[in-house]
Amino acid sequence: MAESDIQKTFDNAQRIVFLTGAGVSTPSGIPDYRSKGGLYTNDKSDHPAEWYLSSDALNQEPKTFYAYMMKNMYYPDAKPNVIHTKQAEFTQKRNAFVITQNIDNLYKDAKTKNLIEFHGNLYDVYCTKCGKHIDYHEYLKSMYHTEDGGILRPNIVLYGEGLNAQNISRSVDAVSKADLIVIVGTSMRVYPFAGLIDYRSSSAKVIAINQEKLEFPFDFTMVQENAVDLFDKLEVN
């Protein structure tokens, strides 16, 4: 699809939904955990990454869980890149939603409206004892809540935990009403997030922007290029 055709597709859309993953944040210096050399494939720890990011690890070995979080998950100096900011602009000026697998807070930093953080947010931290939410800077210093000694944790969906039901229903609703669905920086292989595409309208156009070629059992437009380049040129009209 030519650049002019892509621009025209965005211009003509009435309701846009962006479905995004780790590839959106790699240009901001945050690694794609599942790619070659990423956390899930290159980790030399005693357990697989999925264990360290599980409710079992948090409950059974909270100090190990905390150490892993601090070493691998937090990038507080990362800044939104043009993909975040341009998608945020779409949500500010157009009828658009962002549904992301990312937990890195960069969409919020970019002032994204109509944002659904499907797997939660690392920078939303609360105490497991009293339930109080605290500034994440406190968590970066200690795993314990200074007020009651409770163990702190990020409000993300760990392995072994269920997804937020409201996030699921809002996501399904947004996808089902969209006439343009734009997949960016994700292989769409992780369920249940990947299953959201099944709720699309039969008349909705689907564009996938990814450096890795994707395959779907329905008609869609594959734009196999760096999303940074595409969003840098894309205009929000």
Query: CA 217, CA 188: separation in Å to the nearest integer?
Result: 13
CA angle in degrees (0–180, nearest 5) for 214-218-221? 55
The single residue of 119, 133, 137, 145 carrying the catalytic annotation is: 119
Among residues 19, 14, 1, the alpha carbon closest in space to that of 187 is found at 19
Q: Which residues contact 235 (CB under 8 A, 6 or more apart)?
A: 7
CA atoms within 13 A on the CB side of 218: 13
Range 65-80 burial, b when 16+ CB lie within 10 A, else e: bbebbeebbbbeebeb
**Is 119 a catalytic site residue?**
yes
Q: Which residues are catalytic?
A: 119
